[in-house]
Amino acid sequence: MQKEVKERSNLALVAAVQLPNVSDAEFEASLTELRELAKTLGYDVVKTFVQKRAGFDIKAYLGEGKREEIRAFVNHESYDVEFDKAPPNLNDWEIDTVLVDHEISPSQARNLEKEVGCEVMDRTMVILEIFHRNARSRAARAQVEIARLGYMAPRLREAAKLAGPQGRQRSGEGGRGAGESHTELDRRKVRDRIAELQQDIIAMEAERKTQRARRQGRQGLAGVALVGYTNAGKSTLMRALTGSEVLVANKLFATLDTTVRALYPESIPRILVSDTVGFIKNLPHGLVASFKSTLDEALDASLLLHVIDASDSGFERQLEVTNEVLAEIGADDVPRIRVFNKIDYVGDDAAQAALTLTLQSRYPDCVVMSAKRPDDVAQLHQKIVAIYQQDQIEAEIFLPWEAQQLRKNIYATCQVLAETSDDTGAFFKVRGEVDAVRKLSESVKLI
C-alpha cells in the first residue's frame, strides 16, 4: 500500500501538462489549487514544472525532456537550482514527492516514480489523502475508505508487476487456494472489504433516514443547506447563522460530515441549517459516489444557500463546479440563493463596491456579504426567514379557558401577533403556514 504521508513538512514539486484546450488562467488556477491542497497535507511546494503538450505521454505523463529536468533537479544535478519558494534549509534539502495535477494511470505513476527517483502522487490521491485525514465520523471514514480502496485496487496490480513473477506466488496459507497470486489475494481482500463497508454504510444510512424523518416530522421543520466549493466559508456562515460551534479552518475539506443546527435567533417556523462537504474541480469519482449520501441533506433541503468565495479570482469556475455537482446529485430544482461571501477580503472599499455591483447585475437576487460582518449575517438571516414566511397566512384563533393546554402548540407552530382575553377564553392573532394554522383551528374545534 502507499506510503503514509508524514506529518512534518515535506518538500514537494508540482508538475503538470497544459493541454491545448486549457486556457492559461484556468491552468494557473488549477496549479494554485493543487499547491493549496498540498499545503493542507503539510507539503512545502518549492518548485513547479509545466509543459504544453497535445496529450499526456502514454508512458510517464510528462515528455522525456521534462522528466529528465525533474530527475536532475531531484537528484541535485541541476546546473542552476532556482526555487519558486526556498526550502527551510538551503544546504540540506530533499524532494520527497512530485505532485501531478491530473489523475494518471498506475503505470504512468510507476514509470515516472522510477525515472525521477521519488514518490509521485496524482491530484486524486492528494484529495483522497485529505479526505482520509479529515474524516471524523464512522460514516465519513467508511465512505472515504471505499473511495481509497477503489483507487488503490488497480495500483496494487502495478505494485505486483514491479515485484516481478518470483515474489508473486504464495502457498495456500490460511486456507486460501494454493498458488493464488499476491494480486488476486489482495484484490479479493479489497473486494471483500468494500462489500463489508458498503453493508455498514447501508445500516448507517437507514439510521440517518429515521433521524431525518423524525426531525422533519417534528412540527414540519424547514431546512436550509449550505453548499459550495471548499473553503468558501460555509462553516463560518453556519456558525454565524446558528450560533453553534462548528469547525472552521483555512484548509481545504475541513468539513466532511453534515451537521444540522437551528437558525438562531429562532424563527417560526423553526428553520434548520445544515453544513455540507465542499466541492472541488475534478472531485474524484469515487468520492462523488461516496459522499452522495452525505449530500442527501442538500436534496432534502427546501432551500440551498450556494456559498461562493467572491475574493477568489477563480470564483466563476468554482461556481460552475458546484452547479455541476448539484446537477449530478439531482438537486437541480431545489430553490437556491447565491451567497457571494468574503467581500471584505476583496481589495479596498472601491473594489468591493465595484464587484458588488457587477455581481448583483450578473446574478439577480444574489447576496453579496461577509460572514465576518454581523450586520450582513443578520440581513441574510432575515432574508431566509422571509422566504419561509412568505406562504404564511394570518388568522384568529379563540381558545376557551378549558383548552389552555393547546396554548403551547400555538406558540410553537405560529407567530403570535396579539393575544387578548376575556372571561370565556383567549383570542390569538397568529401568523403561520397554512397547514399549521389549519391544524391548530381543527384541534381547537375538537375541544
Binding mask 274-313 for ligand GTP (x = CB under 6 A): ----x-----------------------------------
Which window, 4-12, 153-161, 224-232, 414-422, contacts ligand GTP (CB under 6 A)? 224-232
Residue 258 binds ligand GTP (CB under 6 A): no
Cα-to-chain-centroid distance, residue 321 = 12
Number of H helices, E strands in the chain: 13, 13
Q: CA 392 to CA 433: how far, in whole Å?
A: 4
Site for ligand GTP in 387-446 (CB under 6 A): none
Q: CA 289 to CA 231: how far, in whole Å?
A: 21
Selection from 231, 413, 213, 374 nearest residue 296 by Cα: 213
341 is in an annotated binding site: yes
Start-to-end Cα distance in the chain: 69
Residue 231 binds ligand GTP (CB under 6 A): yes
Rg of the chain taking only CA atoms, in angstroms? 28
- Give all strands of the β-sheet with 43-52 in edge-to-edge order: 43-52, 10-18, 95-100, 119-122
Residue 342 binds ligand GTP (CB under 6 A): yes
Binding mask 322-341 for ligand GTP (x = CB under 6 A): -------------------x
Which window, 28-36, 51-59, 230-238, 392-400, contacts ligand GTP (CB under 6 A)? 230-238
371 is in an annotated binding site: yes
Contact, 288 vs 189, CB < 8 A? no
Residue 83 binds ligand GTP (CB under 6 A): no
For 347-382, give one letter per residue: b (16+ CB within 10 A) or e: eeeeebeebbeebeeebeebbbbbbeeeebbeebbe
Min dist CB 2 to ligand GTP, Å, is: 23
Contact, 28 vs 117, CB < 8 A? no
Min dist CB 390 to ligand GTP, Å, is: 27
Min dist CB 254 to Mg ion, Å, is: 5
**Shorter beta-carbon distance to Mg ion: residue 58 or 249:** 249
**Shorter beta-carbon distance to Mg ion: residue 185 or 369:** 369
Residue 195 binds ligand GTP (CB under 6 A): no
61 is in an annotated binding site: no
**Shorter beta-carbon distance to ligand GTP: residue 121 or 310:** 310
At 412, list the grid cell: 410553537
Min dist CB 31 to ligand GTP, Å, is: 19
**Shorter beta-carbon distance to Mg ion: residue 225 or 399:** 225
Residue among 250, 390, 405, 420 that touches ligand GTP (CB under 6 A)? 250
Strands 119-122, 222-228: pairing is unpaired
**Shorter beta-carbon distance to ligand GTP: residue 233 or 286:** 233
Residue 226 binds Mg ion (CB under 5 A): no
Site for Mg ion in 54-113 (CB under 5 A): none
150 is in an annotated binding site: no
User: How many CA within 13 A on the CB side of residue 10?
Assistant: 19
Residues in the chain: 447
Q: CA 360 to CA 37: how far, in whole Å?
A: 31
Give Cα separations from 161 to 4, 60, 166, 182 (angstroms). 21, 16, 10, 10
3 is in an annotated binding site: no
Residue 235 binds Mg ion (CB under 5 A): yes
Min dist CB 104 to ligand GTP, Å, is: 25
- Give all strands of the β-sheet with 392-400 in edge-to-edge order: 392-400, 425-433, 415-421
Contact, 306 vs 322, CB < 8 A? yes
Cα-to-chain-centroid distance, residue 128 = 12
250 binds, among ligand GTP, Mg ion, none (CB under 5 to 8 A by kind): ligand GTP
Residue 294 binds Mg ion (CB under 5 A): no
256 is in an annotated binding site: yes
DSSP helix, strand, coil percent of the chain (3-state; round to 5): 50, 20, 30
Residue 134 binds Mg ion (CB under 5 A): no
**Shorter beta-carbon distance to Mg ion: residue 161 or 251:** 251
298 binds, among ligand GTP, Mg ion, none (CB under 5 to 8 A by kind): none
Dihedral angle over CA of 33, 34, 38, 44, nearest 10: -90
Residue 255 binds Mg ion (CB under 5 A): yes
**Binding residue ranges for GTP:** 228-235, 253-257, 275-278, 341-344, 370-372
Binding residues (CB under 6 A) for ligand GTP: these are 230-236, 248-250, 252-255, 278, 341-342, 344-345, 370-372
Binding residues (CB under 5 A) for Mg ion: these are 234-235, 254-255
**Binding residue ranges:** 228-235, 253-257, 275-278, 341-344, 370-372
